Amino acid sequence: MAIPKFDPKELTVAREAPSFTGTPTPIYSFPVTMKEGVNSLYKRQPIWQPTGVETGGIAPRLNPDNVARATVIDATGMVMNAGGGPDMFGIEWEFIPSAGGSMVRPGKPFLEDANDWYDKLKWPDVDAWDWESSAKANEGFLSKENYNVCFVLNGWFERLISFMDFEGAAMAMLDDDQRPAVKELFLKLSDLYIKILGNYLKYYDGIDEFCIHDDWGSQRAPFFSPELAAEVIVPAMRKITDWIHAQGKNCQLHSCGQLFLQVPNIIAAGWDTWSGQVINDTEKIYDLYGDKLIIGVVPEQFDPSATSEEQQRAYARDYADKFCRPDKPSVLNVYGSGVLTPAFREELYVRSRENYSNV
């Protein structure tokens, strides 16, 4: 595809989008729709550097996990400051205001041994969920202009933690007597998630990507070795990423922690993109793996109140010249978005347009 050359008229603000900071974010006169712009990057034919303004999202109230985890995003409202209650497996979550999220109260795990899941787990009847009513309530919720992401919580290891507490889940992964049961559980979870995602695509028009959450690490290191992840988790993940790609959609792994050692597994599991927290050296990860995985790179941070407009623009040009390469595209990491001042945003757009069209 021939990338259109940058035209300064593109900087005309078509409209403004609300933001969490209260300062509206400008939407430029892009040469294609925002949906097309982000999809082009996933096809490795980038047109400009997405910064998040292009993206819409949904995490429907219909799914009990979203209510329990205090992450509801749909036409009924955005609820991320209150939650709790049973998830889709009936496991009770408690919202912790000081943490801004929910957790299963530890100390009384539902499963003491992973081998017990065969008899003890009651699998959710997804077909009994009121999909028709939810679809009607959310009709038109996802914009045709936006690149729309559907968020899926409680991946594989996170789900195991909800069943067994963290210590029990970690031990079950390691224990030779429990590991086979964990592997079978993860594969069955993938089948369940595929069924749910299929209904998402059927009932909510406009989804472009699934972002599935599964935290793998602490601030210092992964929770488990790369070898263990490759054996136990990667096959289950690959089952779902292959399915997502077969539907013509993209997939993102949201996984917190210091995961440098696990990046080859993220690639092997079939994910299109991953944006690590700032504890990860995203520049190094981009250099090593950016040709195989779209990396969310954290820009060099600066204090906007103490940095001149010209210096902010210089930061943006430097970032674009390093990471907005036609042969190796990236996305701007949400964990580094505090530098997105009006000057930085505008300069990044211009420079990335020039870099991506200069081929």
What does the pLDDT read at residue 77? 87
Q: pLDDT-derived band of residue 79, with 50, 70 and 90 as boundaries?
A: confident
What domain range is 234 assigned to?
A: 62-274
Residue 50: CB atoms within 10 A of its CB come to: 21
**339 falls within a domain:** no
Flag whether 217 is in a domain: yes
Q: What is the pLDDT of residue 20?
A: 67
Tokens representing 338?
A: 């505090």
| Average pLDDT of span 312-329 | 97
Domain presence at residue 314:
no
Average pLDDT, the chain: 96
pLDDT score at 83:
87
pLDDT greater than 90 at residue 335? yes
Which residues, 6+ apart, have CB-to-CB distance to 250 below 8 Å?
Answer: 39, 42, 208, 209, 210, 244, 272, 273
- Which one is predicted more confidently, 302 or 21? 302
Instruction: Record the tokens describing residue 27, joined without a space.
Output: 């939407």
- Burial code (b: 16+ CB inside 10 Å, e: under 16) for 234-254 equals bebbebbbebbeeeebbbbbb
Contact predicate 142/73, CB 8 Å: no
Q: Are 114 and 178 a contacting pair, CB within 8 Å?
A: yes
- The three-state secondary structure class of 48 is coil
Furthest-apart CA atoms within the chain: distance in Å: 64
SS3 category, 49: coil
Looking at the DSSP bridge assignments, the partners of residue 210 are 150, 251
Q: Which residues pair with 95 in a beta bridge?
A: 102
Residue 139 inside a domain? The answer is yes
Whether 269 shows a pLDDT value over 70: the answer reads: yes
Domain count, the chain: 1
As beta bridge partners, residue 273 has 252, 294
Per-residue pLDDT tens over the stretch 292-314: 999 999 999 999 999 999 999 99
Residues facing residue 222 across a β-bridge: 217
Angle at 132 (CA atoms; ends 128, 135), nearest 5 degrees: 125
In a domain? residue 208: yes
Query: pLDDT tens across 2-16, in order?
Result: 888 999 999 999 999
Nearest to 252 by CA among 289, 292, 212: 212
Identify whether 262 is part of a domain: yes
Residue 150: CATH number of its domain: 3.20.20.210
Would 101 be classed as within a structural domain?
yes
Q: Is residue 244 part of a domain?
A: yes
